[in-house]
Amino acid sequence: MPTLSDGRAGTIAKAESPAKGYRLVFDDHRDAPRGFGLRIAATGSKVFLLRYTIDGRQRLKTIGDWPAWGLEQARIEARRLLQQIQTGTDPLEEKRRRKAEPTIKELAGEWLDRHATGLKSEKAIRSLIEGDLVKALGSRKVSDIRRRHVIEVIEAKAEGAPRQAGHLLVYARKMLDYAVDRDFIPANPLAGLKPSSITVKGKRDPLRQVARARVLDPDEIRAFWSTVETCGLHRLTALALKLVLVTGQRPGEVAGMHLAEVAGTTWTIPAARRGKTDTAHTVHLTKTALEIIAAAKAEVARLADRRTVAASGHIFEAWPGKAVSNAALAQAVDRMARALGAKDVPPWGRWTPHDLRRTMRTGLSACRVRPDIAEMTIGHVKTGIVAVYDQHGFESERRAALDVWEARLLSITAGKDPDQVEVGNVVQLGARA
């Protein structure tokens, strides 16, 4: 075997190409590892390689083209590969594994399809994973991802949307847990990462979420009730907001109310429209609630005379074929906050549509409605062992709770003392239950 040498006059430059195919020339230099050599093709190309045996199989591993790779550089790489082989790692298998390993973009697509499809929060999950994580790290192989890479993405998100950044951390950790389960990586780089480890300049513990506790005080309730239909909001938007305060249901559930869901004084919210549960929920419609619904129907009928598209049956159908959206309610309140008499209350600021629901729930407590009845009235489900063994629906108690809240609300809007509202029957009903 010849000793390979570099340079214009070296053996590599002078080596002749075969008439066809290729031939192997192995290096017998004292610094060359065993099996290191050159493959010379009929086309004239010359490639450094390493021939090795592992698990009884002889293999050829390409190192690089000459002269892009220098001789000494190729020898060093051959020695590194030989050390790897001696520990039981096959470079060719490692290359194949690396090629087959998914990128973050590919992993995200697979994980989202398997674990997010069909969830009520699917859109939000996909937005965070695809819009933030994949956008920043999508082309990287999963095994190349380090904790600091994900932290940088989360910290960038936390600067403008700390709550969403917290969700992103949760979803990213779950996605990388999936990568561990599929044996793409040996361990999750985010394991043990605490939200408090995320830092943003000027903000201490930016992912720490303070539970929102904003409720409307009596002055704000009166201002809202008296101006919401005259301040410039679309009337159906205004009526939907009023119904949120009257019923205490989620703004999105109220906004999507359909004629088919209302029978007499009962509104049944189907499971498919329930924000956080998989069961239907019935709501007693008080006199005030029925008046709001009647006003909304009349408004839809008035608008229908101007439209070419038939009404779709949504009670708050502000646009042809479409009901008012939850986002539209929030935007409307934000836009007309001053006209609605909303106060800026630290640390939460002005009230939002969901705060109307919280105000109603707080009002139930002020009416001395039993806590478990109040929770069921606004659509929260029983949990734990109670949910397993107690299947009673407490329909009459929930109806009474909505009636007494209506009385308190109307007392507030009329400028009277709400604590003078007669609630004795509800208190006794709760005690008996």
If you average pLDDT over every residue of the chain, what do you get?
Answer: 88
Superfamily for the 218-432 domain = Intergrase catalytic core (1.10.443.10)
Superfamily for the 104-197 domain = Tyrosine recombinase, N-terminal domain (1.10.150.130)
Across residues 275-279, what is the average pLDDT?
Answer: 75
Q: Where are the alpha helices (DSSP H) in 101-161?
A: 104-115, 122-128, 135-137, 147-158
Across residues 411-420, what is the average pLDDT?
Answer: 88
Round to whole Å and give the CA distance between 406 and 388. Answer: 32
List, as one string, the DSSP characters of 77-97: HHHHHHHHHHTT--HHHHHHH
Cβ–Cβ under 8 Å, residues 91 and 25:
no
Residues 350-395: pLDDT tens digits?
Answer: 999 999 999 999 999 999 999 999 999 999 988 778 777 778 889 9
Cβ–Cβ under 8 Å, residues 249 and 213:
no
pTM: 0.64
Q: Which fold has domain 11-100?
A: Double Stranded RNA Binding Domain (3.30.160)
Closest CA to 140 of 130, 151, 149, 131: 149
Residues 323-338: pLDDT tens digits?
Answer: 999 889 999 999 999 9
Residues 215-235: pLDDT tens digits?
Answer: 999 999 999 999 999 999 999
Binned at pLDDT 50, 70 and 90, residue 25 comes out as: confident
- Name the residue ranges covered by the structural domains of the chain: 11-100, 104-197, 218-432
